[in-house]
Amino acid sequence: MLHKTIVILFLIFAQFSASAQEYTLIKDISYREKNENDAYKKERCKLDLYLPQDKPNFATIVWFHGGGLEGGEKFIPLELKEKGVAVIAVNYRLSPKVQGPAYIDDAAAAVAWAFNHIASHGGDPSKIYVSGHSAGGYLALMVGLDKAYLKQYNIDANRIKGLAPVSGQTNTHYTIKKERGQSMEIPIIDQYAPLTFARKDAPPILLITGDPKLELPARYEENAHLAAVLENLKHPNIQLYQLQGFDHGGVYAPGCLLMLNWIEKQSK
């Protein structure tokens, strides 16, 4: 069922207190094969692992940074720290040094790494969520909806516990259109659009955007379109939130808190 909800500014704050647990941060883990000869892959295909200690079978959030697929660096969102979950912050290759779908493939490789390795760090591989802001949200959707990307790493995308993009594009990404010399104003829905791969059996999906008056052009409408398509396909667990008062850059912080609340409900 589609829940189309408008959330007022303070509604999602003060719900999560800091955990008393200890946490460990392991930086710059390569998620590609160590024998890769590509220097740029070796530089960018790394992740940081933020782990709760003395908490077995914790949930994990794979987090992709924003930056339009052309910039940005991995980071652990403050709002996800000390909340009882692990966070995997991922770097990926960027345009124009590479072109699509290279960065989508990197995202898939990082998610596959999470499935293959999180148990050895105490996490539950059946509780892996994939999220990100802006371009990172786009990557989360592409990896979770187009099953081909994870299949090449022998992972079924339906094993993902949930997808939670924050202000991600659901049409073909601007940067991919830029690489191909296409119009930045006219939307395209092709093999690089999450919408193309909407399906009934996809993992649970939480779509979060900011205020339509403050967001990037049609960003809320894109997400509403995906939600409507999924609802029409009878997807059983799709939620759409519009956060009033937040612009594109500011929405990721409250979006993270909303995601934590959603994850808690998914685990019940």
The string of DSSP letters for 173-195 reads: -HHHHHHTT--SSS---STT-GG
pLDDT at 35: 61
Q: For residues 163-177, give the mean pLDDT.
A: 98
Amino acid at 1: M
Whether pLDDT at 4 is above 60: no
Q: For residues 74-98, give the mean pLDDT.
A: 97
In angstroms, the CA 83 to CA 86 distance is 8
Percent of the chain topping pLDDT 70? 91
* Contact present, 83 and 25 (Cβ < 8 Å): no
Beta-strand pair 86-90/46-52: antiparallel
Dihedral in degrees, nearest 10, Cα atoms 52, 57, 62, 63: -30
Mean pLDDT of the chain: 93
Strand ranges of the sheet holding 86-90, from the earlier edge strand across to the other edge? 2-7, 238-243, 205-210, 162-166, 123-133, 58-64, 86-90, 46-52, 23-30
Which of 63, 44, 24, 85 is closest to 263 using CA atoms? Answer: 85
What are the boundaries of each domain within the chain?
A: 2-266
Render pLDDT for 27-55 as a digit per residue (tens, 0 to 9): 999 999 776 789 999 999 999 999 999 89
The region of weakest confidence among 15-29, 78-92, 241-255 is 15-29
Amino acid at 180: R
**CATH code reported for the domain at 2-266:** 3.40.50.1820
- The angle formed by the CA atoms of residues 116, 207 and 211, to the nearest 5 degrees, is 140
Residue predicted with more confidence, 233 or 21:
233
Reported as a pLDDT band with limits 50, 70 and 90, residue 12 is very low
In angstroms, the CA 192 to CA 104 distance is 9
Reported as a pLDDT band with limits 50, 70 and 90, residue 14 is very low
pLDDT at 266: 85
pLDDT at 1: 44
**Quick check: helix, strand or coil at residue 132?**
strand
Whether pLDDT at 145 is above 50: yes
Render pLDDT for 186-244 as a digit per residue (tens, 0 to 9): 999 999 999 999 999 999 999 999 999 999 999 999 999 999 999 999 999 999 999 99
